[in-house]
Amino acid sequence: MSLSARAVVGSAVAVLAAVAGFWLLTAPVTWRLLRGTTEVASTAGDAQRGRILFDVGGCASCHVTPGSQEREKLGGGMALHTAFGTFVVPNLSPHPSDGIGGWSTADFVRAMREGVSPDGRHYYPSFPYTSYQRLETADLADLFAYLKTLPPVAGRASDHDLAFPYAFRSGLGLWKLAFLDGRVFSPDAGRPPEWNRGAYLVEGAGHCAECHSPRNAFGAISGDRRFAGGPDPEGKGGRVPNLTPHADGLGKWTRDDIAELLKTGFTPDFDSFGGSMAAVVKNTARLTDEDRLAMAAYLTSLPARPGKGR
pLDDT in tens, 51-90: 999 999 999 999 998 888 888 999 999 999 888 899 999 9
- Please give the C-alpha separations between residue 207 and each of 56, 192, 307, in angstroms, as whole numbers: 9, 21, 19
Whether the predicted pLDDT of 255 surpasses 90? yes
Of 186, 161, 157, which is closest to residue 78 (Cα–Cα)? 157
Of 94, 110, 92, which is closest to residue 102 (Cα–Cα)? 94
pLDDT at 301: 97
Residue 157 and residue 168: Cα distance in Å, rounded? 19
Amino acid, res. 204: G
Give the contacts of 1 (CB within 8 A, at least 6 positions apart): 9
Give the contacts of 17 (CB within 8 A, at least 6 positions apart): none
Mean model confidence pLDDT for the chain: 87
Query: What average pLDDT does the segment 163-179 reach?
Result: 90
| More confident: 118 or 308 | 118
Residue 265 and residue 12: Cα distance in Å, rounded? 62
Residue 137, φ and ψ in degrees, nearest 5: -60, -40
Helix (H, G, I), strand (E, B) or coil at 118: coil
Of 194, 209, 204, 202, which is closest to residue 294 (Cα–Cα)? 194
